[in-house]
Amino acid sequence: MVVSKMNKDAQMRAAINQKLIETGERERLKELLRAKLIECGWKDQLKAHCKEVIKEKGLEHVTVDDLVAEITPKGRGKKERKKKLFSLLIYVLK
């Protein structure tokens, strides 16, 4: 039962993604999302956080993988921001 629901969800996501690609909406939504993230300071916050991590650990002791592991939780952000962006996407899709 659970596997069947997961398959249906995967099929639905694939169908939606395909439709977005066909209509060109996927690229438009990606650009809109990118602009909103820049506008709210998300990109600058992550950049500053990377600089802090490098400063704390030292450039010689930090790898790209270390930075990714460190900033991913922060980059995924707060639920409020996710809800806002999701609402925006729903509005655009209607």
Boundaries of domain holding 49: 41-93
* CATH code: domain of residue 62: 1.10.246.140
Q: Is residue 88 part of a domain?
A: yes
Q: Is residue 61 part of a domain?
A: yes
Q: Is residue 14 part of a domain?
A: no
Mean pLDDT of 82-86: 72
pLDDT level of residue 56 (50, 70, 90 thresholds)? very high
- What is the pLDDT at residue 42? 86
Q: Is residue 50 part of a domain?
A: yes
Transcribe 4-56 into DSSP letters: HHHHHHHHHHHHHHHHHHHHTHHHHHHHHHHHHHHHTTHHHHHHHHHHHHHHH
What is the percentage of the chain residues whose pLDDT exceeds 70?
Answer: 88
Q: At residue 22, what is the residue type?
A: E
Q: How many domains does the chain have?
A: 1
Q: What is the pLDDT of residues 32-41, one digit of tens each?
A: 888 888 888 8
Backbone phi, psi, residue 78, to 5°:
-85, 155
Residue 1 pLDDT exceeds 60: no
- What is the pLDDT at residue 4? 78
Q: How far apart are CA 34 and CA 19, in angstroms?
A: 21
Residue 62 pLDDT exceeds 90: yes
- What is the pLDDT at residue 48? 94
Q: Is residue 83 part of a domain?
A: yes
Q: Is residue 2 part of a domain?
A: no
Q: Is residue 7 part of a domain?
A: no
